[in-house]
């Protein structure tokens, strides 16, 4: 009997054994159907039906009334405009911080690195209401800085603006400085002490210039709580971790080899960041921005505390929905809710399309897993 004949005779037995093993590794068909049905039922009851109910309630009295509730109500228009103002500012601030924090944590080892990582996750564990109360205790009328802000709050603005401009100049000088010592000429060869003295001189000149030109009012209170700055602070705090948490695993997985190679070839900090780092982390950055924007649009707890719930002044879209609901204006409440729901659906679609475009290795990097 040949080997080929033996293999042909044993083939059905081998296939039967493989099929038996595969069935043993799988759940019974009835169990799979039950679990699938339960999952679909939960999704339909908790997600699909409420979303359909929102749009049905918004359009219950016709498209004309729906449009009137959104456009002709001045308080609703202001809430939509305020939301579209606060959210981009908070997202932009978190993008800047997220990129800087991810760069520091992924590329450097320094005392307090673990603490910084833990602080980034702090908004996940702190209730948004507690976060809003924290800002009230700091900037409110009875807070630590409340008396000063009420008496002459704008007096600090020249110093803040000057410090920010000096910081931007320092970052620019570091980013655009040639990486090779031989290529540094002129100002690039200034020692650190000289740069510090130059920064202090620029700071003093900027402060004096703003005070001489009267850029900021004097003896006037600066409102943070119950005003737009408080809304921005609260929204930025609750969306603090999203961008950084998406970028840190990506940058850890990529490593610094390509960036070091760019520096060794003569690229400065900006060239390395823009042409090497950004292309490698772009999908994680976009993903973080999408999640940060979605969270910021729907924030309620922290914003409720710091806003004062003043209609036409500090109401954002979630607060406006709650106020209309308390006033028994169901069509108006559902109309504004439908806008937020539509934005959430658009965000979900964009997120799904983005995941389809991300290559498999890049998805592993974004989730912190190795492909």
Burial 277-307 (b: 16+ CB within 10 A, else e): beebbebbbbbbbbbbbbbbbbbbbbbbbbb
Tell me if 90 sits within 8 A of 235, measured CB to CB.
Answer: yes
Return the number of other C-beta atoms located less than 10 Å from residue 244's C-beta: 26
pLDDT range class, residue 317, cuts 50, 70, 90: very high
Mean pLDDT of the chain: 81
| Residue at token pair 């802000």 | 149
Contacts 24+ apart (CB under 8 A), 91-95: 91/239, 91/289, 91/292, 91/293, 91/296, 93/232, 93/236, 94/236, 94/239, 94/240, 94/242, 94/243, 94/244, 94/292, 95/243, 95/285, 95/288, 95/289, 95/292
How far, in Å, CA of 334 to CA of 78, rounded?
17
Q: How far is CA 368 from CA 170, 182, 249, 259, in A?
A: 33, 39, 5, 20
Write the CB contacts of 184 (distance below 8 Å, at least 6 apart in sequence): 177, 178
- 30-53 pLDDT, tens digit each: 888 898 999 999 999 998 998 899
**Domain extents for the chain?**
18-58, 74-365
SS3 label, residue 126: coil
Report whether pLDDT(91) > 90. Answer: yes
Number of H helices, E strands in the chain: 20, 0
Q: Does domain 74-365 have CATH number 1.10.3720.10?
A: yes
Tell me if 102 sits within 8 A of 244, measured CB to CB.
Answer: yes
Tell me if 131 sits within 8 A of 176, measured CB to CB.
Answer: no
pLDDT of amino acid 236: 93
- 1-31 pLDDT, tens digit each: 454 555 555 556 666 666 666 665 666 778 8
142 DSSP assignment? T
Rg of the chain over Cα atoms, rounded to whole angstroms, equals 28
Kindly tell me the sign of the dihedral angle through the C-alpha atoms of 63, 66, 71, 72: positive
- From the list 249, 253, 254, 263, the residue with the least C-alpha distance to 175 is 263
pLDDT range class, residue 359, cuts 50, 70, 90: low
pLDDT range class, residue 195, cuts 50, 70, 90: low
Contacts 24+ apart (CB under 8 A), 252-255: 252/106, 252/368, 253/364, 253/365, 253/368, 253/370, 254/280, 254/281, 254/365
Report whether pLDDT(363) > 60. Answer: no
More confident residue, 302 or 360: 302
How far, in Å, CA of 317 to CA of 76, rounded?
8
């Amino acid at each position: 009997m040949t080997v080929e004949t033996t293999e042909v005779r044993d083939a059905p037995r081998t296939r039967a054994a493989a099929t038996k093993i595969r069935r043993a590794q799988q759940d019974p068909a009835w169990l799979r159907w039950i679990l699938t049905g339960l999952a679909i039922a939960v999704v339909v009851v908790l997600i699909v039906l409420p979303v359909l109910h929102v749009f049905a309630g918004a359009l219950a009295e016709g498209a004309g009334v729906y449009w009137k509730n959104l456009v002709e109500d001045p308080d609703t228009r202001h809430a939509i405009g305020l939301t579209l103002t606060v959210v981009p500012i908070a997202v932009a601030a978190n993008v800047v911080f997220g990129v800087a924090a991810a760069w520091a944590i992924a590329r450097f080892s320094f005392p307090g690195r673990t603490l910084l990582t833990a602080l980034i996750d702090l908004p996940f564990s702190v209730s948004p209401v507690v976060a809003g109360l924290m800002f009230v205790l700091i900037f409110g009328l009875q807070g630590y800085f409340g008396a000063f802000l009420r008496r002459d709050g704008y007096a600090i603005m020249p110093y803040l603006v000057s410090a920010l401009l000096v910081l931007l100049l320092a970052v620019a000088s570091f980013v655009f400085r040639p990486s090779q010592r031989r290529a540094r000429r002129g100002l690039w060869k200034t020692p650190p002490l000289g740069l510090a003295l130059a920064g202090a001189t620029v700071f003093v000149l900027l402060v004096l210039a703003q005070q001489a030109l009267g850029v900021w009012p004097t003896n006037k209170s600066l409102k943070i709580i119950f005003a737009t700055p408080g809304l921005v602070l609260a929204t930025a705090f609750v969306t603090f971790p999203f961008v950084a948490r998406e970028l840190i695993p990506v940058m850890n997985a990529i490593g610094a080899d390509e960036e070091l190679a760019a520096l060794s070839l003569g690229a400065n900090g900006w060239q390395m960041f823009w042409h090497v780092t950004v292309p490698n982390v772009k999908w994680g950055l976009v993903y973080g921005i999408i999640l940060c924007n979605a969270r910021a649009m729907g924030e309620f707890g922290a914003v409720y505390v710091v806003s004062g719930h003043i209609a036409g002044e500090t109401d954002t879209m979630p607060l406006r929905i709650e106020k209309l609901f308390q006033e028994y204006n169901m069509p108006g409440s559902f109309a504004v809710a439908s806008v937020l729901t539509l934005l959430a659906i658009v965000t979900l679609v964009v997120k799904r399309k983005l995941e389809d475009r991300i290559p498999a290795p890049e998805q592993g990097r974004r989730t912190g897993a190795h492909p």
